Chains A and B, each alone.
Chain A
């Protein structure tokens, strides 16, 4: 039996922190205790404590722990690596994903074009009644009737047959449905957040994935996301901001999501444009605008519509080779090298606008080719508005929704001094008085992803990161890679506190504690074993999840539950649904 002592002391909550906000502000709060500081760091630099984490950090020293987290490359992480080793999409190139996870409609068209469409597939396709299988709909269509008796059905038999034939073809040819890609990627994010020792690295991956948001439901982005996570976000999550910025600018996922892949100079000869570009307007400003508004300067960062147009001209020709895979799945006509490169960045000089441009007062000389875009990124990365914008977002994420201006100013100064070194900005935050103040303690509302991961961690539960967990995160409003617009999920409480969302948070707590989430298992015996009174069981649970200090009224409520059957799962479920556990 695992001793209670080893799993307690996980999460400290001071009685102070559950008092009304106004009351806290009036009395000058004492400094955080050592244990509170540890809990605070485990909550903010990571996804909350696991059983025993507080003690481990105490033993190694809090400062050492923070320094270690700032250098994730020095932390061995075998447990997390083992957990994700079966998620095959993580290591596949985009070309391989197009080949092994083809869109059914596209696959059929290509097989047909090559005269290789098997007879049963051809027939099923012909008889298919319901459309949309080959669509690229941005939104998932609402569920369609499966078994509607009245009025007459839209021939569900043919539809079912079509699905079966497709499934069989996929099975026989070692193919997988494309939805599987995002499912595995989501699983990897959950597994790493739960199990990785590199907690800060995972927090930063989450942070930058939202800052440079991509929506999986937009066209080809589903196939482009694994490389985005692996090659764009992860390696640079704690590098220089300019490095990360360039990586995103050249990532196929971003080029597709914000349409830059089809932005061409209006002067480019028609016949030189790719066929899908011929009907388009020429220049597309979407990326240029969001680059300044959301990625660097901020909306009031001092750029004009003219700057947007000029930046868009600079990025013409920044595109994707075979953006939709070019039929890699079935098209043997492409050479080996071309197939390998499907879905990767390339600069198409022939459609680039090579005239002179002026961006934020800087002259970009004619004839620069790909250097135009690189110069723009350099100008933006070194702009004071960018320093302020990034400093504000980091402080909001790690300290408070409305972070103290004094801290924002210091972090922005570090940005300027260190050429946008993310690690140095983080160090400044973590060792600041503002971060380590009572005012910052437990003021952030957990986002659904953070709530789910922290709940699994605090109970020492085991998860496969599968659909059972995704669905809860989605139900609470944060499906990973499911945010449509480029601003990403909000980091402020007001976006997350609403009646429907709060109800789902409570239901999630109950589902987790009573082992009703497929693929995730909690062993509550760890909390309740031993010869203890029922009241003690409850207090130990409280201590594990909220470190004991909770209002007397809530404790009394929980105590009443002990008279019911199966008290442990109910008490734990209720604790996970308390206002206190929604905060970090």
Chain B
């Protein structure tokens, strides 16, 4: 082990040498953090809909007659009062899938914005490549080693040196958070512990003692940081968490992930970037229309996000939720009453600071000659302009060159959904 390694490994290891030898550094930092920021910190909750959601049935362009021509069995009917299966009107042209009814109040209170016809400029229709590009934010370049959210973390020092600055509620670290900056991935907060049944506490004591005594060893330093984090989480008592304001999360892994993200935000552990994902969107067969496969997924999706919003209450002043999916789906339905891999898609942005109640981005139209490669919704907003606006205006990034290498981010390209 050489010294350079732990200097490079960032704030956590450094803190372990400097601060934590005397007092519980983690708590110290939290206290310190509270005095600096008043306990507030901007947080991004990024949600990936893996498998490519059908953006045209999620945010329905009911004003396009081509939409209905292209989708004889799966189209969502135009808004109509008293028809629970009809699209929920947002303006005179777009509507929400009826299963997204939980989003309607958020739209009405101008907290929810939509960026339609957005996505990757690369034309790949491979899930693998498109997810890779969306998470690295370098479309067309495969060798980018880190994800854009990690590059954001690298680009900005965290004065509070939070151990939970970046958390992915997934079993493995997603591409978007891979990189040099420290981040934690876990399926459940309760997994972040020594797990040995009845002997857990005793064995944790044993490890803590071993790691406490190896002074100057960078691995031991990391071990001490680990146990500070473990103990802090234990105090937050994840098992006993009760959502506030009557929020009801869907009882499934997605709902559970969002619930635990809310818990971390409230615990004031310094969470800046949270990530989770939800799958099942690859609806090649029997997609359904107002009801059915996609409808059920959207219902769970919106119920989870709405519950997060409700649970966080006033804290949503400092939180932005962003949803994304690797590409959209074909405008025309296929022979199996489903849709195939397409191009541009729709993204949601939610938060009290969001200029919601508006669809952002230029609408390219759905007539045959307006389609991308003759089949898909064309792209009018590069996803990097959406990510960039959030990184800059919400998280306060000042180094867009290193966060979005090879792309010249310009404020004039921002859609303006944030301040």
Contacts of B217 in A (CB 8 A): 18, 20-21, 579
Query: A326 on the interface (CB 8 Å rule)?
Result: no
Query: A138 on the interface (CB 8 Å rule)?
Result: yes
Query: B375's closest neighbor in chain A, by CB?
Result: A279
Query: B93 on the interface (CB 8 Å rule)?
Result: no
Asked if residues B2 and A145 are in contact (CB atoms below 8 Å), the reply is no
Query: A390 on the interface (CB 8 Å rule)?
Result: no
Q: Which of B29-37, B59-67, B190-198 contacts A (4 or more CB under 8 A)?
A: B190-198
- Known: A22-B216, A494-B8, A497-B9. Is A145-B253 also a contact (CB below 8 A)? yes
- Known: A138-B126, A144-B252, A145-B300. Is A574-B282 also a contact (CB below 8 A)? no
Query: B235 on the interface (CB 8 Å rule)?
Result: no
Asked if residues A149 and B251 are in contact (CB atoms below 8 Å), the reply is yes
What DSSP secondary structure best describes chain A's contact surface? Answer: loop
A486 to B132, CA, bound (A): 11
Query: A266 on the interface (CB 8 Å rule)?
Result: no
Asked if residues B184 and A498 are in contact (CB atoms below 8 Å), the reply is yes
Asked if residues B203 and A573 are in contact (CB atoms below 8 Å), the reply is yes
A299 to B126, CA, bound (A): 26
CB distance from B383 to the nearest CB of A (A): 17
A493 to B218, CA, bound (A): 11
A499 to B2, CA, bound (A): 19
Asked if residues B214 and A18 are in contact (CB atoms below 8 Å), the reply is yes
Asked if residues A142 and B170 are in contact (CB atoms below 8 Å), the reply is yes
Asked if residues B279 and A557 are in contact (CB atoms below 8 Å), the reply is no
CB contacts between A and B, total, < 8 Å = 263
Contacts of B254 in A (CB 8 A): 142, 145
Contacts of B184 in A (CB 8 A): 498-500
CB distance from B153 to the nearest CB of A (A): 13
Query: B7's closest neighbor in chain A, by CB?
Result: A494
- Known: A154-B296, A498-B182, A499-B184. Is A506-B194 also a contact (CB below 8 A)? yes
- Known: A135-B51, A290-B142, A477-B173. Is A577-B285 also a contact (CB below 8 A)? no
Asked if residues B5 and A401 are in contact (CB atoms below 8 Å), the reply is yes
- Known: A135-B51, A487-B145. Is A554-B214 also a contact (CB below 8 A)? yes
Contacts of A583 in B (CB 8 A): 1, 219
Query: B160 on the interface (CB 8 Å rule)?
Result: no
A22 to B1, CA, bound (A): 10
Query: B277's closest neighbor in chain A, by CB?
Result: A142
Asked if residues A561 and B206 are in contact (CB atoms below 8 Å), the reply is yes
Query: A16 on the interface (CB 8 Å rule)?
Result: no
- Known: A129-B293, A484-B128. Is A500-B185 also a contact (CB below 8 A)? yes
> Restricting to B5-33, which residues have a CB under 8 Å from any CB of A?
5-6, 8-9, 12-13
CB distance from B293 to the nearest CB of A (A): 5
> Restricting to B303-325, which residues have a CB under 8 Å from any CB of A?
303
Asked if residues B293 and A218 are in contact (CB atoms below 8 Å), the reply is no
CB distance from A417 to the nearest CB of B (A): 30
A479 to B172, CA, bound (A): 9
Query: A202 on the interface (CB 8 Å rule)?
Result: no
Query: A400's closest neighbor in chain B, by CB?
Result: B2
> Restricting to A149-187, which residues have a CB under 8 Å from any CB of B?
149-155
CB distance from A114 to the nearest CB of B (A): 17
A579 to B210, CA, bound (A): 9
A561 to B205, CA, bound (A): 10
The range of chain B's interface size is 35 or more
Query: B225 on the interface (CB 8 Å rule)?
Result: yes
Contacts of A129 in B (CB 8 A): 286, 288, 292-293, 296
Asked if residues B222 and A475 are in contact (CB atoms below 8 Å), the reply is no
Contacts of B288 in A (CB 8 A): 129
CB distance from A254 to the nearest CB of B (A): 13
Indicate the member of A475, A497, A507, A510 with the most B CB atoms within 10 Å: A497
Query: A327 on the interface (CB 8 Å rule)?
Result: no
Asked if residues B219 and A497 are in contact (CB atoms below 8 Å), the reply is yes
A579 to B50, CA, bound (A): 37
Asked if residues A557 and B216 are in contact (CB atoms below 8 Å), the reply is no
Contacts of A137 in B (CB 8 A): 50-51, 127-128, 279, 282
The range of chain A's interface size is 35 or more
B280-301 CB contact bits vs A (8 Å, 1 = yes)?
A: 1111111110001100110110
Indicate the member of B6, B131, B207, B303 with the most A CB atoms within 10 Å: B207
Query: B225's closest neighbor in chain A, by CB?
Result: A499
Asked if residues B219 and A582 are in contact (CB atoms below 8 Å), the reply is yes
Query: B371 on the interface (CB 8 Å rule)?
Result: no
Asked if residues A494 and B222 are in contact (CB atoms below 8 Å), the reply is no
Query: A573's closest neighbor in chain B, by CB?
Result: B203
A131 to B171, CA, bound (A): 22
Contacts of B131 in A (CB 8 A): 138-139
Contacts of A230 in B (CB 8 A): none
Query: B412 on the interface (CB 8 Å rule)?
Result: no
Asked if residues B222 and A498 are in contact (CB atoms below 8 Å), the reply is yes
Asked if residues B299 and A132 are in contact (CB atoms below 8 Å), the reply is no
Contacts of B210 in A (CB 8 A): 553-554, 557-558, 574, 577-579
Q: Among A131, A144, A479, A557, which residue has its beta carbon within 8 angstroms of that of B206?
A: A557
A290 to B145, CA, bound (A): 12
Q: Among A130, A281, A290, A557, which residue has its beta carbon within 8 angstroms of that of B293?
A: A130
Query: A148 on the interface (CB 8 Å rule)?
Result: yes
Contacts of B171 in A (CB 8 A): 474-475
Query: B278 on the interface (CB 8 Å rule)?
Result: yes
Contacts of A151 in B (CB 8 A): 250, 299-300, 303
Contacts of A83 in B (CB 8 A): none
Asked if residues A150 and B248 are in contact (CB atoms below 8 Å), the reply is yes
> Restricting to A514-532, which residues have a CB under 8 Å from any CB of B?
514
Q: Among B183, B209, B284, which residue has its beta carbon within 8 angstroms of that of A131?
A: B284
Asked if residues A494 and B143 are in contact (CB atoms below 8 Å), the reply is no
Query: A153's closest neighbor in chain B, by CB?
Result: B296
Q: Among B9, B182, B214, B279, which residue has its beta carbon within 8 angstroms of that of A141?
A: B279
Q: Among A20, A138, A570, which residue has its beta carbon within 8 angstroms of that of B129?
A: A138
Asked if residues B286 and A131 are in contact (CB atoms below 8 Å), the reply is yes
> Restricting to B210-229, which residues have a CB under 8 Å from any CB of A?
210-211, 213-220, 222-223, 225-226, 229
Query: B81 on the interface (CB 8 Å rule)?
Result: no
Contacts of A477 in B (CB 8 A): 172-173
A376-412 CB contact bits vs B (8 Å, 1 = yes)?
A: 0000000000000000000000001110000000000
Contacts of A329 in B (CB 8 A): none
Query: A253 on the interface (CB 8 Å rule)?
Result: no
Asked if residues B283 and A131 are in contact (CB atoms below 8 Å), the reply is yes
Asked if residues A131 and B293 are in contact (CB atoms below 8 Å), the reply is yes
Asked if residues B293 and A485 are in contact (CB atoms below 8 Å), the reply is no
- Known: A484-B175, A564-B202. Is A139-B214 also a contact (CB below 8 A)? no
- Known: A151-B300, A577-B207, A582-B219. Is A130-B4 also a contact (CB below 8 A)? no
A370 to B37, CA, bound (A): 64
Q: Among B9, B203, B282, B300, which residue has its beta carbon within 8 angstroms of that of A132?
A: B282
Asked if residues A21 and B132 are in contact (CB atoms below 8 Å), the reply is no
CB distance from B318 to the nearest CB of A (A): 24
CB distance from A289 to the nearest CB of B (A): 7
- Given A510-B194, A511-B196, 20 more A-B residue pairs with CB atoms under 8 Å apart are A18-B214, A132-B281, A137-B128, A139-B50, A141-B51, A145-B252, A218-B126, A401-B5, A443-B1, A443-B2, A485-B142, A494-B9, A499-B184, A502-B219, A506-B207, A553-B214, A557-B209, A577-B207, A579-B217, A582-B219
30 CB-based A-B contacts, threshold 8 Å: A18-B217, A21-B1, A22-B3, A129-B288, A131-B284, A131-B338, A132-B279, A137-B128, A137-B282, A138-B128, A139-B50, A139-B127, A141-B278, A142-B170, A144-B252, A144-B280, A145-B251, A151-B303, A155-B296, A219-B128, A281-B123, A445-B1, A445-B219, A485-B132, A497-B219, A499-B163, A502-B226, A510-B203, A578-B210, A579-B217
Closest 10 CB pairs of A and B: A141-B279, A138-B128, A20-B216, A145-B252, A154-B296, A553-B213, A135-B282, A579-B219, A557-B209, A131-B283
